[in-house]
Chains A and B, each alone.
Chain A
Amino acid sequence: MQVRQPINKGARRSAREYVVCRQEDLPPGRMVIAPVGKFGVGVYNVHGILYAINNYCPHMGGPLCSGNVYGTNLWDDVRGRAEHVLDGRIARCPWHAWEIDVATGVSVADARKRTRTYDVRVENGEVVLTR
């Protein structure tokens, strides 16, 4: 199935590096899909910190990054109640709603399930992805 998100126009910088966009085009709370690899890579700005994960769900290979972004609910054993945490860091797959932490690529439910992460940084006002 195709990625329905408009693919951001970026530029290849070297064999290993890809310029995703200008820094101001990726404000906090936003995500762009860079046309890197077979499925694209989702680059997220979560409260000012950049993360990048493969747009490929570890479940059935759904377009992970084209779903909604949330926080999640975890049980706090000390307080003995559920807490809403990791706001803006959880990519929810548009197919079966698995929750993936974009900072680690790991599924919230089951740490054995994970998608690939990429290094991403800002350099001279540009968002640069290392593949």
Chain B
Amino acid sequence: MSTIEVSGSDRTRTKEVDVRWVDADVHPLPHPGDGFLGYAPDGWRDRLAPRGHEISGVSARILDQPEANKAPTGKVDSYSPRGGPACSDPQFAAQQLLVETGMDIGILLPMGRDHRNPDYEHALKTTVNNWLADIWLDQHNQHRRWRGSISVTNREPELAAREIERWAGHPMMVQVLMSPQRPAYAFGDPKLDPIYEAAARHRLPVATHLMANLPYENSIKPVGVGGHFSDYISAWGLILASHLMSLVFDGAFDRHPTLKVVFVEGGFLWVLPLMWRMDAIWEARRSELPWVKRRPSEYVRDQVYFTTQPLDDVDTREEIAFTRWLDMAANLIFATDYPHWTYDDPKWALRRLPKELHPRIQHENATELYGLPQTVPALPGA
């Protein structure tokens, strides 16, 4: 495989290309060669990893994706010849996602670092940030195509705010990332205000994404937990729906009028009927919600973004009709979810999205939201 690095001496001569595609959901994992635990804060190095799984060689997931036995972390063809889990080799990932698939910028969202113990979770998130900044945003980012997320624990909002401050000036960190899974607070809870204040102060959107269905990250659902991967994951958007209701009804958007929230990989069609219901409830019960000054749907349209992946594999015309009814040109952002198996191929995705929205979804909304450049250095072989 040819190297996709843009070497230092070449950089001045490399021609720039327009940013046409931003992928808002890429999931890097540590490679065994990265020395991940070396990035842990003082005193945590030896306390972080649950070692048993390293010996057993089997993932702890309780609801298995297809072929979980053979490819526990990614789609089958996303494993690098250098070994390691899918998307743990920045070179290979750049070749597959940037060169071959044609993404111009990839936003990196490390997953799966929730923990039952909040201090432990904070230490894990700190470690992830140190590792991501070094391996992906510095050592392997000469092409300046990768952007990072600042992982924080929302169960210790003060610590999380400090972590945001620690990274806020980093030119390649473009958002805050927190888990939506319990025992996290509902997102509108005033206890999370320190996170939102820090994020808004630095104009960093706050993103959320499913962290994993490992037992300790799983949460009891209101009427019972899905029995299979398909019903469990199909219902996933309801968690985000509940967080969105909380953000609106608990007044978080009123308290933080410049806050932007990004719901990643949780669907977006449910947002339309959710806005109908929230607006109707608000009209009926306004006197109980004096702190919610505007119609709920207005906050959603002004302050919330949704990534498009995974698009549904259903009648294309029906799907496009629904997306047109949604009428959220300014709120949808393309994502592939590389290297996961629910990956959306860009060409396929475009066929399922209304044509008039393509430029906004492909890159305009993301470049505005994340403050991304209009051009990036060309890559050899692209």
Contacts and interface: CB of A to CB of B under 8 A. Distances in A.
Interface of A: 1-2, 4, 59-63, 66-68, 92, 94-97
Contact of A61 (B75, B77, B96, B348): B348
Interface string B303-347: 000000000010000000000000000000000000001111101
Contacts of A95: 75-77, 341, 343, 345
A67 B348 CA distance: 20
Contact of A96 (B96, B101, B341): B341
A95 B179 CA distance: 26
A60 B316 CA distance: 13
A92 B77 CA distance: 12
A92 B96 contact: no
A31 B126 CA distance: 46
Contacts of A63: 77
Contacts of A97: 65-67, 341
Nearest to A63: B77
Contact of B343 (A4, A61, A96): A96
A92 B348 contact: no
A121 B100 CA distance: 35
A63 B343 CA distance: 14
B347 to A, nearest CB: 8
25 contacts: A1-B96, A1-B101, A4-B77, A59-B348, A60-B344, A60-B345, A60-B348, A61-B347, A61-B348, A62-B77, A66-B76, A67-B77, A68-B70, A92-B76, A94-B76, A94-B77, A95-B77, A95-B343, A95-B345, A96-B75, A96-B341, A96-B343, A97-B65, A97-B66, A97-B67
B348 to A, nearest CB: 4
A97 to B, nearest CB: 4
Contacts of B341: 95-97
A2 B76 contact: no
A92 B66 contact: yes
A66 B348 CA distance: 20
A59 B67 contact: no
Given A1-B96, A1-B100, A67-B77, A96 B348 contact: no
Interface string B55-77: 00000000001110010000111
Nearest to B349: A60
A33 to B, nearest CB: 13
B225 to A, nearest CB: 22
Interface in B74-126: 75-77, 96, 100-101
Contacts of B77: 1, 4, 62-63, 66-67, 94-95
Contact of B342 (A66, A94, A96): A96
Nearest to A2: B100
Contacts of B76: 66-68, 92, 94-95
A113 B66 CA distance: 19
Contacts of A59: 313, 348
Contacts of A92: 66-67, 76
A92 to B, nearest CB: 7
A79 B343 CA distance: 37
Contacts of B75: 94-96
Interface in B24-70: 65-67, 70
B70 to A, nearest CB: 6
Contacts of A66: 76-77
A66 B78 CA distance: 11
A59 B66 CA distance: 16
Given A1-B77, A59-B348, A68-B67, 18 more contacts: A1-B101, A2-B100, A60-B344, A60-B347, A61-B345, A61-B347, A63-B77, A66-B77, A92-B66, A94-B75, A94-B76, A94-B77, A95-B75, A95-B345, A96-B342, A96-B343, A97-B66, A97-B67
